[in-house]
Structures are given as structure tokens and as C-alpha cells.
Amino acid sequence: MKGRITSDQLKDGQTLTNLTGQILVVHKQASDLTIEDGRGNVADVIQADVRATNGVVYSINKVLQRNVN
């Protein structure tokens, strides 16, 4: 995803496009944050809002895969 999107800016059901063109869906309930890929795989965000020189990093507990058409 291009930009510096922090967890407080994310909304439940929001879709994001990563740098490879994959559509990801954000699921947010209170302080719980998960990301779903096009195949239905859901990863828990285990660390959010890690600032880097080129954006914001989110550490997740699974590998998300590109949806194959």
C-alpha cells in the first residue's frame, strides 16, 4: 500500500490495494485488527504502526497470497 496509513485511520470493511495490486480487506473490532486476502485467508496484525523511512509496517502472523484468476 502506498502511503503512511496508521491503524487509527483504518476502518472495518475497508479495502486496500498493496503494491502488487492485491486487494486486501481490513477487519477491525475495537483494538483487534485482521487483514483478509483475495483467497479468504485472514491474518492477525500482531504489531501495527511501526514507522519506517518509506511508510508504516504491520507485522502479521500468516502469509497472505495473491488471488489467482
Tens digit of each residue's pLDDT (9 = 90 or more) over 18-30: 878 889 999 999 9
Is 70 exceeded by the pLDDT of residue 1?
no
The pLDDT assigned to 65 comes to: 80
Residue 65, in any domain of the structure: no
Q: How many domains in the chain?
A: 1
25 located within any domain? yes
Question: CA dist 62 to 33, 44, 53, 54, Å?
Answer: 13, 7, 24, 22
Residue 69 in domain:
no
User: Are residues 12 and 26 in contact, defined by beta-carbon separation less than 8 angstroms?
Assistant: yes
Range of the domain at 42: 7-60
Domain contains 41:
yes
At 38-64, the pLDDT tens digits run 899 999 999 999 998 888 999 999 988
